[in-house]
Structure 1
């Protein structure tokens, strides 16, 4: 007897159903949030991974998409060298098909697609359902090995940050936006610095000019360069992904509904981010490609302040910046009013624990804009 479901690679014409599947499976909590992918599911997926590997489970009778997962590949730095690594995300099952059989069929496909590879994945710390699932001990699921945590700050863009330079230091640093003439300089600086981090995603800045889908929505002027004299000492970009990826505040718990009203009343009087109404989207921009020589806190603080003020002037509600939880620069982010999200980073494999392969002298780096 044929199984109720079969699995196959996702196709471009599955986009509408995949968008509907995401809408039906929000991140439930005090604030129920959904990370949407309109108008085309694959636009956002091609920003997360360079080589797509998305699979769907189809109910035979209705021909509906019942579930999906993505384990595509992208170039990251591992132990100082560049290599293709899988990133697992979007493991979702539609509420209409939440049965053990759906999951079994999906994970059977998952195991075959993974083969001998290992992958990275990130799970929000308050996503109890996913965290309980990965610890279930099922042989059909990969083993998830802890490999660091991430703290992401959604900085409320409210009032300008005032700079207070020391006497005589005003001209020591110069921050400006990048242009096409900076691409070679940026690439050299990037490759020197990014390879010192574990899992830093590789960037090829010339591809910003060529319409590469991995850089959708990015232009060279989205980058900020910080110089000490003639030397480039730090850089970062901002990325507005709202044309293909959105964050919707679906619902608030009763307690959080009251907290939202109090927050918004306070924000009107004293400045702060207005929490959206249930059903509304948040207007934000993400900090990415962050590289600072020696991870210097003072350089990072000055660059962040400059970018914060620029984003405020552009009328965004928030600036999203994520760093490993153990990164000393977290204390700079803590000086801003923000909504904080904690995430757990895992290495997953169906085979032996691969963590012994990673040199722990390389600090972890994860890019929120590519998760």
Structure 2
């Protein structure tokens, strides 16, 4: 008999899951934990309309040994709306690693996949995570799903300093915060131009009035118009109330140089690095959508959202784009810390149609929903 069982989490598992997240940091020059206080399930609806939280339980002790999520939501695939899955939030307690947990977990995952909700999934793996890359991609077992690389993604942690002068607008152009009356037009714009990107999320008006966009208000949209027509939108989404990135330790030279680096940050108008035990204060640039993927409109909107983030006291503005996207070059003009990951489609070996049908559109992944 296996020493682990696999099933779906219930609210009774909440404290055990949160403890697993808090006790298993992600290493690096800055060791962090990705936490979900005060309730793990509070932010699950932001990942998809349908969400299953999978847990592995250690039979002898009854402890939660691992957690992962299977979520689904409508995305644009080749320009058409399709329900697509996402595999994410995988965390394994370090005490139980290398004990065939992944193998057993995928067997259970395949049982859940049999509900037929989706044909395929997407997921991301952070560059440098050689363990995940080896287990899931390079040396996957025969009964594992097939991971196929689609693109390289870049997330920029833009360092927020003092507000910057707004970029000049063309005649007939203006940038304004949205109002609830603007929402139908914004949704129509997101559908029209979001369809040009692979995996752009499909939102309806009801999504901006509930848990799908928890703590995002319509007024957090900045809207660019030219002669009265929307030509670009971007939002500022703060999820700190239910998702936190906590600094646990600094390593190497950063451990000793942090006081000096913080002094430089303060002099330049930026927030200092938080001490261990404190969260990194950031917000996401979300719902990034431009008519014709226009980099000029993007640059103007990004400047407004940057200034809004500064005014609200954040330390970083997170911007996630494909490395093939021309908009990324504009965002890179700001002082930033880059993080790279690989985007994969995931299909079971007996049905890889989802892999094979994708065209060459540039992907857009809403990083706030991962």
Pair 1:279 & 2:282 matched = no
Distance 2:215 2:167 in 1: 34
Distance 2:167 2:146 in 1: 50
Pair 1:52 & 2:51 matched = yes
Q: Give the corresponding residue for 1:189.
A: 189
Q: Secondary structure at the match of 1:185?
A: helix
Q: Give the corresponding residue for 2:15.
A: 16
Distance 2:19 2:249 in 1: 17
Deviates more, 1:107-116 or 1:279-288: 107-116
Whether the 8 Å contact between 1:74 and 1:84 is mirrored in structure 2 is yes
Whether the 8 Å contact between 1:47 and 1:216 is mirrored in structure 2 is yes
Distance 1:255 1:138 in 2: 40
Superposition TM-score, scaled by structure 2 size = 0.93
1:213-260 Cα deviation digits (max 9, x unpaired): 212112111111111121111111111101111111221212231343
1:138-166 Cα deviation digits (max 9, x unpaired): 22422211000111111111022123537
Q: Give the corresponding residue for 2:74.
A: 75
Whether the 8 Å contact between 1:48 and 1:370 is mirrored in structure 2 is yes
1:48-89 Cα deviation digits (max 9, x unpaired): 121012211112232211112212111111111111111001
Distance 1:164 1:61 in 2: 62
RMSD: 1.8
Distance 1:150 1:6 in 2: 34
Whether the 8 Å contact between 1:194 and 1:291 is mirrored in structure 2 is yes
Q: Give the corresponding residue for 2:151.
A: 148
How many pairs are equivalent? Answer: 364
Whether the 8 Å contact between 2:167 and 2:300 is mirrored in structure 1 is no
Distance 1:273 1:125 in 2: 27
Distance 1:139 1:91, change over 3 A: farther
Whether the 8 Å contact between 1:68 and 1:106 is mirrored in structure 2 is no
Deviates more, 1:117-126 or 1:147-156: 117-126
Q: Give the corresponding residue for 2:295.
A: 297
Superposition TM-score, scaled by structure 1 size = 0.93
TM superposition shift of 1:177: 0.9
Matches within 5 A, 1:73-112: 73-112=72-111
Matches within 5 A, 1:251-266: 251-266=249-264
Whether the 8 Å contact between 2:173 and 2:226 is mirrored in structure 1 is yes
Unaligned runs of 5+ in 1: none
Whether the 8 Å contact between 1:8 and 1:56 is mirrored in structure 2 is yes
- Of the three residues 127, 131, 134, the one matched with 1:132 is 134
- Of the three residues 119, 122, 129, the one matched with 2:121 is 119
Distance 2:283 2:100 in 1: 40
Pair 1:158 & 2:161 matched = yes
Q: Secondary structure at the match of 1:258?
A: helix
Q: Secondary structure at the match of 1:100?
A: coil
Distance 1:18 1:261, change over 3 A: same
Distance 1:229 1:31, change over 3 A: same
Whether the 8 Å contact between 1:67 and 1:106 is mirrored in structure 2 is no
TM superposition shift of 1:92: 2.0
1:166-202 Cα deviation digits (max 9, x unpaired): 7xx4x53211111111122112111111111110111
Distance 1:164 1:119 in 2: 39
TM superposition shift of 1:350: 2.1
Distance 1:180 1:270 in 2: 37
Deviates more, 1:250-259 or 1:2-11: 250-259
- Of the three residues 201, 219, 222, the one matched with 2:220 is 222
Distance 1:238 1:164, change over 3 A: closer
Distance 1:224 1:147 in 2: 30
Distance 1:73 1:163 in 2: 38
